[in-house]
Amino acid sequence: MTTLTSTSIYNGIVEKKNSDSKQFAILVDPDNFDDAGTIASEAQSANVDLIFIGGSILTNGNIESCIMEVKKETEIPVVLFPGNTLQINDKADGILFLSLISGRNPELLIGKHVIAAPVLKRSSLEIIPTGYMLIDGGSSTAVSYMSNSTPIPSDKADIAVCTALAGEMLGLKMIYMDGGSGAMSPISEIMISKVREQISVPLIIGGGIRTPEMAINACRAGADIIVVGSAVENQKSKSALIAEISDAIHSS
Ligand code: 1GP
């Protein structure tokens, strides 16, 4: 089981990466989970490594109560994956400080960060600077619409490689390639492997991963962390799916 010890969340991620141990993050969107506590205790039993909390937009979900429900049930690190600055909450353990490097929207490259910086400085959140790359997953996604940015075409691995490289050169500590929530097709193995060959920071892959096999394929191609949200949301027997995907990731 992964617990929050004296080492930082990021150091824990890097240690696991260096020992070739693949990691599983469940994405909890407060709008879509009214049973976040149950998911958290199932995640705990299944040795899930990280819980990401956030969404493109929140309508009725409450981020703070969602975090508290999760933290009541588990010691798995809770990391914010914020859709906007309103989702910053220091009840979580850390935050992906996202720069949308696949897009050309200055607000999401630096603008919102300036607004967030003093709030984060006062918080106890561990800040993990992360280059976020939206990849076309075959359908229009909330994140593409909300971010007013165009995803990288799914067959343009060279653009993905150069974007990830630039992010690493700028000092970003992780790269998150995302097909967007509910993507029809997950990011291709060829794109994952080409990016993996060129960067050394941890590589997160999410969007449209629905089965253990899809998770294994992304791991074998070079992902360090697999993120699954919608498949868990949409599944009736959530605990079985969480356990199956977790086993697949941890044994690949
Ligand atoms: C979305 O990568 C996450 O930002 C997870 O995607 O909901 O499709 O699993 P899914």
CB atoms under 10 Å from CB of 145, counted, come to: 12
What pLDDT score was predicted for residue 2? 43
What pLDDT score was predicted for residue 60? 83
What are the pLDDT tens digits along the chain (252 aa)? 444 444 699 999 999 999 999 999 999 999 988 889 999 999 999 999 999 999 988 888 799 999 999 999 999 999 999 999 999 999 999 999 999 999 999 999 999 999 999 999 999 999 999 999 999 999 888 899 999 999 999 999 999 999 999 999 999 999 999 999 999 999 999 999 999 999 999 999 999 999 999 999 999 999 999 999 999 999 888 999 999 999 999 998
Atom of ligand 1 nearest to the CA of 228: 9
- The closest alpha carbon to 155, from 108, 193, 187, 195, belongs to 187
CA of 206 to the centre of ligand 1 (A): 5
Cα-based angle 205, 20, 12 (whole degrees, multiple of 5): 75
Q: Which of 28, 209, 210, 242 to mutate to test the pocket of ligand 1 (most atoms within 8 A of CB)?
A: 209
CA distances (Å), origin 243, targets 27, 39, 41, 204: 15, 11, 12, 20
Q: Largest alpha-carbon pair distance within the chain? A: 44
What pLDDT score was predicted for residue 7? 65
Q: Which of 145, 181, 234 to mutate to test the pocket of ligand 1 (most atoms within 8 A of CB)?
A: 181
Pinpoint the alpha helices (H) of 19-106.
36-45, 63-73, 106
- Is the Cβ atom of 207 under 6 angstroms away from ligand 1? yes
- Give the pTM: 0.96
All domains of the chain in start order, with CATH: 8-251 (3.20.20.390)
Q: Which of 228, 232, 245 to mutate to test the pocket of ligand 1 (most atoms within 8 A of CB)?
A: 228
- Is the Cβ atom of 208 under 6 angstroms away from ligand 1? yes
